[in-house]
Chain A
Amino acid sequence: MNKIDAQLKKIKSQNRIGLMTHIVVGYPDLATSKNLLKTMLEVGVDFIELQIPFSDPLADGPTLMVANQLAVQHNTSVRQSMELMAAVSLTTSTPILFMTYFNIVFNYGVARFCQEASQAGCSGLIVPDMPLDEERYEGFIEQAEKFDLYVIRTLAPSSTPKRLRLNAQLAKGFVYFAGRQATTGSQRELDNNLFSNIKKVKQYIDKPVAVGFGISKPEHIYELKNHAEIAVLGSKVVNIYHESASDMAIKNVKIFLQSLVDATH
């Protein structure tokens, strides 16, 4: 059984919303990203997105763009990302997913990437610039499924019923719905149409829905309960780390993460 399914089952049995958090490998440096990852596991988040940095992260807003740029400048490699995954993932039941852009997967070799990610204990892949339309040319989902990796479908407020239906056919585990038509980044308020948009997605897709983009505080998680199955926070953690004094950074992140985990119950 894929760890993602087991985790979804556990969350459901506890009658709560799940939490997925995000790390950019190599930001602010490799050792710290490992510490952040361990902190997330200690605090008890439900899913972790491990972003393999890319020079041109199209779907990411300013915070994650800067994090990607710094990680790339530090020569953070795909190899190191695989090693970090293996170092942590093989000893935890928490599903860890790779998030990256398709050029990284493509250059590594789609089959090789999927095989090595799977061997490293990765549970799923989130590759926002690999729409289902290109599957016939790339065989990406095919390779991923061969190695029991779930390719998480990403959806947007602009998704048409036809596209929601097509994505539904391929969805495994859960779907990732971008809560606002924007790039990633924390926002003070949830999007005005968020709940009606989630409802629209659920009309077509019978899978748990993870909601990200603009989620930044425990209150947002409370608000999302009864609407979505997973809340996703990415940029805010990077912001907290970045804005903290260096000796306080991990501690501040931990306190913040704990408040998020508490909010899921």
Chain B
Amino acid sequence: MVLNFKVGGEGTSFSPHIFNNHMKSIFFKTEYDADNYGHFGTFGGRYVPEMLMPALEELAAVYDAAKQDPDFLQELMDLYKNYDGRPTPLYFAKNLTKQLGGAKIYLKNEGLNHTGAHKINHCLGQALLAKRMGKKRLIAETGAGQHGLATATVAAKFGFACTVYMGAVDYERQRPNVFFMELLGATVVPVEHGTKRLKDAVTAALQDWISNVDDSYYLLGSALGPHPYPSMVRDFQSIIGLEVKEQIMEQEGRLPDYLVACVGGGSNALGLFNAFLENKEVCMIGVEAGGRDITKIGEHAARLQSAGKIGVVEGYKSYFLQNDDGQVQSTHSISAGLDYAGIGPEHALLFEQGRVAYHAVSDAQVIAALQLLAQTEGVIPALESAHAVAYAIKLAPTLDDEKIMVVNVSGRGDKDIFILGDILGDEKWKNYLKKKSQ
């Protein structure tokens, strides 16, 4: 692993000011990296119509050049620190740990990023690329709205026009983010095709890009899609794991035993995992959306729990929930961000090689986990992130209290107020909504 990142720098003393020197790089290789054609083993690739091939070739070339340019990294690190609020804290969840009685649980609180989730990390990186390429407009897809919100935010900051595609189902259930995206100046388009969810928003965004490839940049929001997106999004998210590595050394003097993150497309999970992939003693767990019933197609979004099979959709090869002919099937999750029929290609490789274990938790377990974390630690996670918390709650009590677990709280839960109000049946909230609507 070529990692330009040294814990403790020159000596053994530890510098907390990691952004004051630029020895650290989010650009490093691991044995799980894609080949030159964007294939992670048999997964990934670039299965798109000819219309997009030249644009993807150009993007890959510009990205490679940017990685070699120290000014690019410096500008990004300055944005991470001064605009985004990085580093985000790694916080020992003492009360939760005590209550569960097992492994020590640390929370990497990505919810404290500007705009409330890890999505801003890859938006800042890609906005700098779009600027470098002289583009005038950003296109994005969004599920929960966090990626759309972060894209609308960087569009406002850097002066891009912005169009965000959102499945009609998600447009309805994540309405606060629609409101804020529009406030930031973005056009938000509900997508009525197909399952009306994240998958269909990705397709709509790719189709927009086909027609506007000269002046528009497609700011993809997860570690999926055609090469180079899976690698590029992972790189921009790798700051999460790099920080955790430094922070856990500072607090515990050793690497963690377990890393736990939720996996929709897989950007926050890869962001946490990437810097640890070659530390084979660190166990990694990706948590999928088990929804209402993991045994029934249409009732969950768990691609790696036996229902999924390999296919080629939206420009990449990976595991998808699909029927025998390859028609992509509908999904369900309480969290819009995990309600996706595919999974990023590097996750498919990590799954196949057994480097990362993938488990699923149900909607009900997610709600219980969210409440427990809120009430023990005063942290309200996004419904997506609460999947990771739910699995951690299952796992921690089975482990020795010497063990250390890091859970990625990829986003905060503000956006889910309407969903939670509904599910928890909060009468005061319902009455308030009634009153406001009159």
Contacts and interface: CB of A to CB of B under 8 A. Distances in A.
A58 B48 contact: yes
A178 B48 CA distance: 14
A103 B213 CA distance: 24
A133 B37 contact: yes
Nearest to B327: A55
8 contacts: A59-B51, A65-B193, A103-B313, A104-B326, A128-B50, A129-B315, A154-B49, A181-B213
Nearest to A104: B326
Given A137-B39, A137-B45, A159-B53, 16 more contacts: A58-B315, A101-B312, A103-B311, A103-B312, A103-B326, A104-B325, A106-B312, A107-B326, A108-B325, A131-B46, A156-B50, A158-B53, A181-B51, A181-B210, A181-B211, A183-B211
B324 A182 contact: no
Q: How large is the interface on B (under 10, 10 to 19, 20 to 34, 35 or more residues)?
A: 35 or more
Given A55-B327, A56-B314, A107-B326, A131 B211 contact: no
A94 B313 CA distance: 32
Interface of B: 37, 39, 42, 45-55, 57, 193-194, 199-200, 203, 206-207, 210-211, 213-214, 309-315, 320, 322, 324-328
Interface in A132-155: 133-134, 136-137, 154-155
B311 A58 contact: no
Contact of B42 (A137, A159, A182): A137
Interface of A: 54-56, 58-59, 61, 65, 69, 72, 77-78, 101-104, 106-108, 128-131, 133-134, 136-137, 154-160, 163, 167, 178, 181-183
Contacts of A78: 325
A133 B326 contact: no
A101 B193 CA distance: 17
A129 B311 contact: no
Contacts, number: 114
A59 B326 contact: no
Interface of B is mostly: mixed
Among B55, B312, B327, residue most surrounded by chain A Cβ atoms (within 10 Å): B327
A197 to B, nearest CB: 12
Contacts of B207: 58, 61, 183
A178 B325 contact: no
A83 B309 CA distance: 26
A29 B210 CA distance: 30
Contacts of B194: 55-56, 69
Contacts of B47: 102, 129-131, 134
Contacts of B326: 54, 103-104, 106-108
Contacts of B213: 158, 181
A182 B210 contact: yes
Contacts of B214: 181
Given A55-B328, A106-B326, A155 B50 contact: yes
Contacts of A103: 311-313, 320, 322, 326, 328
A108 B325 CA distance: 6
Among B37, B207, B314, B324, residue most surrounded by chain A Cβ atoms (within 10 Å): B207
Contacts of B193: 65, 69
A160 B203 CA distance: 24
Contact of B203 (A58, A106, A163): A58
Contacts of B206: 58
A68 B37 CA distance: 30
B47 to A, nearest CB: 5
Nearest to A167: B50
A145 B375 CA distance: 64
Among B50, B55, B214, residue most surrounded by chain A Cβ atoms (within 10 Å): B50
A69 B327 CA distance: 10
Given A59-B51, A103-B322, A107-B322, A54 B312 contact: no
8 nearest interchain CB pairs? A107-B326, A156-B51, A103-B326, A128-B49, A55-B327, A55-B328, A59-B49, A182-B211
A56 B341 CA distance: 12
Contacts of A56: 194, 199-200, 203, 313-314, 328
Among A54, A56, A101, A183, residue most surrounded by chain B Cβ atoms (within 10 Å): A56
Contacts of B315: 58, 129
Among B51, B54, B309, residue most surrounded by chain A Cβ atoms (within 10 Å): B51
A69 B330 CA distance: 13
A171 to B, nearest CB: 12
B311 A107 contact: yes
Given A65-B193, A130-B47, A183-B211, A163 B53 contact: yes
Contacts of A128: 49-50
B339 to A, nearest CB: 15
Contacts of A72: 327
A131 B327 CA distance: 20
Nearest to A128: B49
B203 A158 contact: no
A129 B48 CA distance: 4
A56 to B, nearest CB: 5
Contacts of A134: 45-47
Contacts of A158: 50-55, 213
B233 to A, nearest CB: 19
Contacts of B46: 131, 133-134
Nearest to A176: B50
A46 to B, nearest CB: 23
Given A58-B314, A103-B312, A108-B325, A159 B203 contact: no
A14 B199 CA distance: 47
